[in-house]
Chain A
């Protein structure tokens, strides 16, 4: 089983649609969680951190469920500019105090006019 698993893509949605991405992680000792977006041939850019209380930034809402080891990202009112790959990221402890950052494989989103 992969340490971080995301929905396989791609997602093809019309402008204005609501789209949800899901991600599960296997290491219960994981400490922090993020969503990044990556445009073609560019570096990943931080979209938002994910907290147990949930957080919202404009059209984007992220949720964390530690009991189910599950992270989600909701995008409302999709724009053409939201077309990108969305990466789920988990920071976890390894061994005696070391940290490891695991990226999911990413979910590709295409928003069409």
Chain B
């Protein structure tokens, strides 16, 4: 086990709603990255937080936002949910920006 936890494990929402996903990083890690993985594809980088600041962002619209807390845990918020947001959302933590990332089990989001 990596020590990275995510909640909830599964979630069903309807189009237009808002959702918050949570991630606790591995002890000693100060960087958290979030990914979206659709079926049959590789994870797509949403953004990365380092020491409570957004440090990098992929090609996702502003309705995807995040936070990192002083204990390095993190949240991913998605507003105005669309059907295409249905995916596995993965969080990964690392010690610094360039180092190996360790993944949590993911949150499977279904938007109806």
- How many Å from the CB of A24 to the closest CB on chain B? 14
- How many Å from the CB of B37 to the closest CB on chain A? 9
Q: Are B41 and A101 in contact (CB under 8 A)?
A: no
Q: Are B90 and A43 in contact (CB under 8 A)?
A: yes
Q: Are A46 and B104 in contact (CB under 8 A)?
A: no
Q: Are B42 and A99 in contact (CB under 8 A)?
A: no
CA distance in complex: A42, B9 (Å) = 12
Q: Are A43 and B104 in contact (CB under 8 A)?
A: yes
| Chain A residues with a Cβ closer than 8 Å to the other chain, count | 22
CA distance in complex: A6, B59 (Å) = 20
| B16 at the A interface (CB under 8 A) | no
Q: Majority SS of interface residues in chain A?
A: strand
Q: Are A45 and B98 in contact (CB under 8 A)?
A: no
Q: Are A99 and B43 in contact (CB under 8 A)?
A: no
Known: A32-B98, A46-B101, A94-B56. A99 touches B48 (CB 8 A): yes
CA distance in complex: A53, B43 (Å) = 27
- How many Å from the CB of B80 to the closest CB on chain A? 24
The count of A-to-B residue pairs whose CB atoms sit within 8 angstroms is 56
Q: Mark A60-97, 1 if CB is under 8 A from B, else 0.
A: 00000000000000000000000000010001001001
Q: A92's closest neighbor in chain B, by CB? A: B56
| B66 at the A interface (CB under 8 A) | no
CA distance in complex: A42, B45 (Å) = 17
Q: Are B44 and A44 in contact (CB under 8 A)?
A: no
Which chain B residues (31-73) contact chain A, with CB distance < 8 Å?
33, 35, 41-45, 48, 55-58
Interface centre among A34, A87, A97, A103 (most CB of B within 10 A): A103
| A26 at the B interface (CB under 8 A) | no
CA distance in complex: A31, B100 (Å) = 12
Please give the residue numbers on chain A whose beta carbons come within 8 Å of chain B beta carbons, in ascending order: 31-32, 34, 42-46, 49, 87, 91, 94, 97-106
Question: Given A97-B55, A99-B56, A99-B97, list of 9 further CB < 8 A pairs?
Answer: A43-B103, A46-B100, A46-B101, A91-B97, A98-B56, A99-B98, A100-B57, A101-B48, A106-B41
